[in-house]
Structure 1
Amino acid sequence: MIRGSNMEVQIFGSGSKGNCYRLIAGGSPLLLEAGIPAREIQRLCGFRLNELVGCLVSHEHQDHSRAVKDLLKMGVDCYMSEGTARALGVSGHRVHIIRALEQLTIGEWTVKPFDAVHDAAEPLNFLLAHKSRVKAVYISDTAYCKYRFRGLTHVLIEVNYSLDILNEQISAGTVSVEQKKRLLKTHMSLETAKNFLLANDLSKVESIYLLHMSDNNADAERFKREIQALTGKMVFIA
């Protein structure tokens, strides 16, 4: 659990085994991703799923969507693209179809989805604003982000691998050339994350969260150290 001045970030899971985060600002707890078992989400939410204003799902891969069908049955509204809903085979009044660059309101949150670069049906990332002067961006499972943002207070960003570690793993035979090709096209590297951060307005940023690190191709402490030195901001490892 990590608390900023106006927002609390609860990390339920991050990485290839499952991604799930709860953002709390004001009276509107919002779930980001549903990639761990629903019962585990229920437990981590203190058995108060009814307090969630909704769950944003970036795409259909199981490490982001595993619990969607169960959450829907438990009464949680889930927001996703049409492509994601179709890939998951979900429908009904609790499935809300959202589109890139079309703003919507979920509880006290204003959400603007934007397109991600990933090998999924219609992947999205999210810009989230709350009336308590919170403006957060969530970027994960994307090779890069072409958008720029002003006035951010929190950055949640994938730093899946670094090129030098990835190349070392290929030389050692633990990662194949084909795996490297997929990573380059579908996940964000340390180098790309740094370029994104340098290209954006970080003047109001309170904290940066490093998400979805690879077990083999990342060095969490090094990534934290380098991004903290680059930005001068508080950096946390999910």
Structure 2
Amino acid sequence: MKVNILASGSSGNCIALTSGGSTILVDAGVAKTKIEKRLLEVGIVPINVEAIFITHAHKDHTKGLPLANKYKIPVYAGEEEWKDIQGVDEELRKSLPAILNDGIEYTFQVIAFKTHHDAYDPLGYVVHDLYNDLRCSICLDTGKVDDEMLEAMKDSNVYIIESNHEPRMVEASSYPNSVKARIISDVGHLSNQQTAETLYKLVQGRGEQIYLTHLSSNNNMPALAEMTTVRELAKKGFIKDKHYKLEVIT
């Protein structure tokens, strides 16, 4: 499974997963033209995108959905989340779960799990690459991680998870108190420590690939996000680049 994170952060999010000749996108949060350009830059022809999976309807996850209409790509999202998703042709709106066929054999099985965010029906996804027997868990925009989420994500080979903020930086920021409260709430975003503790429970030291994503440009630093997770996993005796790999996406 090839992972290309085309955009990450409050300005937009878009992840491409490829196996064989098939590609799926999780979120389409930057302009359609930018997605097209970034796909081509990593060797993916947009017409080969088989499906788009939306975590929730906020604009930094849906801005580029006109891509779906242009290339007739089916779009999957939580049933209630369609209340806030505009501009997708009716015949392209799909329900979950999904198994996608690339014309030769089944390539991707995608299972959704509930997350905790201020949206109608926010979701995370576990993508099973049936061609290579690999699992990728994607967990973005959630204020907490519960036992059901951990159960869904366990035994993955790849973890793409937000490490959004450092609470002390949020408190010291110039944001209005209402925004600060939202960020650190149970329907906001994961802090560096929350993310690290989640990965502590999930990572088995079998060479898993971790991507820390959706970092706040104002309330976090890449080195701080990385250090927090590395320090937490060290409690299990796991060493970066020996027991797991880690990349911070900005």
Q: TM-score category by the smaller chain?
A: 0.7 to 0.9
What does residue 200 of structure 2 align with? Answer: 198
Structure 1 residue 26 and structure 2 residue 20: aligned? yes
What does residue 113 of structure 1 align with? Answer: 112
What does residue 3 of structure 1 align with? Answer: none
Contact between 2:49 and 2:73, CA under 8 Å: does it hold in 1?
Answer: yes
Question: For structure 1, which segment, 119-128 or 202-211, has the greater mean C-alpha deviation from structure 2 after superposition?
Answer: 202-211
Which secondary structure state, in structure 2, belongs to the residue aligned with residue 67 of structure 1? coil
Q: How does 1:1-238 map to 2 (within 5 A)?
A: 7-46=1-40, 48-89=45-86, 90-98=88-96, 103-107=97-101, 108-131=107-130, 132-146=132-146, 147-148=149-150, 149-169=153-173, 174-185=174-185, 186-231=188-233, 232=239, 233-238=244-249
Q: CA deviation at 1:120?
A: 1.0
What does residue 104 of structure 2 align with? Answer: none
Q: CA deviation at 1:127?
A: 0.9
Which secondary structure state, in structure 2, belongs to the residue aligned with residue 222 of structure 1? helix
Q: Distance in 1 between matches of 2:76 and 2:62?
A: 11
Q: CA deviation at 1:196?
A: 1.0
What does residue 4 of structure 1 align with? Answer: none
Contact between 1:79 and 1:97, CA under 8 Å: does it hold in 2?
Answer: yes
Q: Distance in 2 between matches of 1:72 and 1:188?
A: 32
**Number of matched residues?**
224
**Structure 2 unaligned runs (5+)?**
102-106, 234-238
**Structure 1 unaligned runs (5+)?**
1-6
| TM value normalised by structure 2 | 0.83
Q: Distance in 2 between matches of 1:94 and 1:221?
A: 40
Q: Deviations over 1:181-211 (max 9, x none)?
A: 1002211111111121122243434211011
Q: Deviations over 1:148-193 (max 9, x none)?
A: 2332111000011012222232xxxx22321111002211111111
Q: Distance in 2 between matches of 1:193 and 1:77?
A: 31
Contact between 2:24 and 2:49, CA under 8 Å: does it hold in 1?
Answer: yes
Distance 1:84 1:73, change over 3 A: farther
Q: Deviations over 1:108-146 (max 9, x none)?
A: 111110111111121111011112131111000111121
* 4+ residue segments displaced more than 3 Å: none
Please tell me the residue identity of whatever aligns with 1:153.
Answer: N
- State percent identity of aligned pairs: 22
| TM value normalised by structure 1 | 0.87
Which secondary structure state, in structure 2, belongs to the residue aligned with residue 39 of structure 1? helix
Please tell me the residue identity of whatever aligns with 2:227.
Answer: R
Distance 1:113 1:190, change over 3 A: same
Contact between 1:228 and 1:234, CA under 8 Å: does it hold in 2?
Answer: no
Q: Distance in 1 between matches of 2:65 and 2:109?
A: 22
Which secondary structure state, in structure 2, belongs to the residue aligned with residue 12 of structure 1? strand
